[in-house]
Chain A
Amino acid sequence: MIKNIWKEFRKNRAFRLGVILLLFFISMAVLAPVIAPYDPEALLGMPNQRPSAAHWLGTNDIGQDIFSELVYGSRISLKVGIVAALAVTTLGSTIGMVAGYYKGVVDKVFTVLTNVAMTIPSLPLTILLVGFLKTGMLGMVVAICITAWAGTARVVRAKVLQIRELPYIQIEKLMGVSDFKVLFKHIVPNIADIVMTRCALSVGGAMMTETSLSFLGLGSFTQKSWGNILHFAFYRNGVINNMWWWYLPPILCISGCMLGFVLVTHYGRSRSQLIKG
């Protein structure tokens, strides 16, 4: 697989740009203490300052350095995005694999569940769930997981339905190999590209949901995230006063990161047509 990814990196420009963008944002999150010039929570004096040499993106309404907030904010946004995407992909892939492999009643039940889940608008349901669950990262991840698994489940089910009919799977059944071994030794490696692609798409989707929730004030107020910066920029008159250095950078970061994850899915797109959910 690493060989395939490297091959794709060399020949696919979109994939290459996606990887570069993601590496940029991941480095920003990992090296936040090195990159950020100030503690993002520190009150540094004058509020609402314009960008300057001392504060590259100015300061917010209580005098915190916006650039430092932005750098540290990448940590929470990416963490929520990646953890939620892993949870969503694990849940969706498991449901899709079980439905596609066993077919029959199991498939019918999961297909009805998936169709119902897909018809419910996800953001209002996520807002409702976050309202009931504990605020903070865990509540957000659980809410995103409950609302976003259906697309992955549908794509994985379609692929497993196709693979299960291939002779090498039928031969395993004839030899009396256990279902568990057939699923994990023979089916999982053959859907790995699609699952990874769905996971990359889910990270983008989860980050967008986290931003939306934080913007609406449903995120964690104790931790800085890009959505959280936008929330304060909007509700503390940063937008009305046209303080673009406050609201524009988080929008650009979210867009860049989303674009990175979407472009990375070009890898899967070239290897399979089954990534639309």
Chain B
Amino acid sequence: MLIEAKGLKKTYKNNKGVRIEALRNANVAVRENECVGLFGSSGSGKSTIGQIMVGLLPPDEGSISYRGKSVKIPYGKGIRREIQMLYQHPEVSFNPKLTLLRSLIEPYQLMGIDPSRERILEDNYRFGIYAEHLERYPGELSGGELQRAALARILVLKPRFIVLDEPTSMLDAISQAQVVQILREIQKETGVGYLFITHNKALCQAFSSRFYRIREGITEEVSSL
């Protein structure tokens, strides 16, 4: 198993100070080279699971194991870059004050890879990001371009597991198809595992090989949606 979350519980305090249970008993497991769908309605706790599994939120109870070893949040340096997330809103996935090039350079610098413009252009070519896009600010790019650039940026880190938090819900049909196609190609090439969070039943069934349904913070593995 690549990553496994067991018995996750998470509560939040609302504005009145009352504790709201976001997760009551969530169990999700993803193998290498597998796409697992997590399907549920708004407010069911889908994104909370994603944020816990990538290490952004500590659970109140429950455990996470990565490649057979129990891990604690925040994740240590060794696995930090191997677990990434693609967000629902591409327009806020990039710093609005930086050009695309300045945002794309960061993972290269972190990984000690040559951050030259030529190298970035070469790597981004397959994602439909070209020279004319690099000097633009996020506000000057389309949702599809930004989402493809966001995916290209996290792939520099060579992740083994990516949480896809409704990555196509804000895109038009053509951009959706492009992003899904790229995600499939990358999985074939690298064996990366995906947790595909969505409330789109058809897309979840088409893209995932196994499914979890989440209702009121409780997950259940199902054979079909």
* Chain A residues near B (Cβ < 8 Å): 166-168, 170-177, 185-186, 189-190
Most A-side CB within 10 Å, residue of B80, B97, B110: B97
- Are B110 and A177 within 8 A (Cβ)? yes
- Are A171 and B56 within 8 A (Cβ)? no
- Are A175 and B97 within 8 A (Cβ)? no
* Chain B residues near A (Cβ < 8 Å): 54-56, 77, 80-81, 83-85, 87, 89, 92-98, 103, 106-107, 110, 150, 153-154, 157
Known interface pairs A167-B93, A168-B94, A190-B97; A175-B110 also in contact (CB < 8 Å): yes
Could you say which residues of chain A place their CB within 8 Å of the CB of B150? 171
When chains A and B are docked, how far (Å) is the Cα of A185 from the Cα of B97?
9
Min CB–CB distance A93 → chain B (angstroms):
16
Could you say which residues of chain B place their CB within 8 Å of the CB of A172? 106
When chains A and B are docked, how far (Å) is the Cα of A189 from the Cα of B96?
9
- Are B93 and A168 within 8 A (Cβ)? yes
Known interface pairs A174-B84, A177-B110; A189-B54 also in contact (CB < 8 Å): no
When chains A and B are docked, how far (Å) is the Cα of A170 from the Cα of B89?
12
- Are A170 and B81 within 8 A (Cβ)? no
**Which of A173, A175, A189 is close to B106, meaning CB atoms less than 8 Å apart?**
A175
Known: A171-B154, A175-B154. 6 other contacts (CB 8 A): A168-B95, A171-B87, A171-B153, A175-B157, A186-B95, A189-B95
Could you say which residues of chain A place their CB within 8 Å of the CB of B95? 168, 185-186, 189-190
- Are B87 and A190 within 8 A (Cβ)? no
When chains A and B are docked, how far (Å) is the Cα of A186 from the Cα of B96?
9
Min CB–CB distance B27 → chain A (angstroms):
23
- Are B87 and A177 within 8 A (Cβ)? no
Residue of A nearest to B103 (CB): A168
When chains A and B are docked, how far (Å) is the Cα of A174 from the Cα of B162?
11
Min CB–CB distance A196 → chain B (angstroms):
14
- Are A175 and B94 within 8 A (Cβ)? no
Min CB–CB distance B98 → chain A (angstroms):
8
- Are A175 and B81 within 8 A (Cβ)? yes
When chains A and B are docked, how far (Å) is the Cα of A128 from the Cα of B98?
45
Known interface pairs A176-B77, A176-B80, A176-B81; A171-B110 also in contact (CB < 8 Å): no
When chains A and B are docked, how far (Å) is the Cα of A189 from the Cα of B95?
9
When chains A and B are docked, how far (Å) is the Cα of A166 from the Cα of B87?
10
When chains A and B are docked, how far (Å) is the Cα of A166 from the Cα of B93?
8
When chains A and B are docked, how far (Å) is the Cα of A168 from the Cα of B139?
14
When chains A and B are docked, how far (Å) is the Cα of A172 from the Cα of B154?
10
**Nearest 9 pairs between A and B by C-beta?**
A189-B97, A167-B87, A176-B80, A167-B93, A167-B92, A168-B95, A186-B95, A166-B92, A168-B94
When chains A and B are docked, how far (Å) is the Cα of A170 from the Cα of B55?
10
- Are B89 and A167 within 8 A (Cβ)? yes
- Are A190 and B56 within 8 A (Cβ)? no
When chains A and B are docked, how far (Å) is the Cα of A185 from the Cα of B105?
13
Could you say which residues of chain A place their CB within 8 Å of the CB of B85? 170-171, 174
- Are B107 and A168 within 8 A (Cβ)? no
When chains A and B are docked, how far (Å) is the Cα of A175 from the Cα of B153?
10
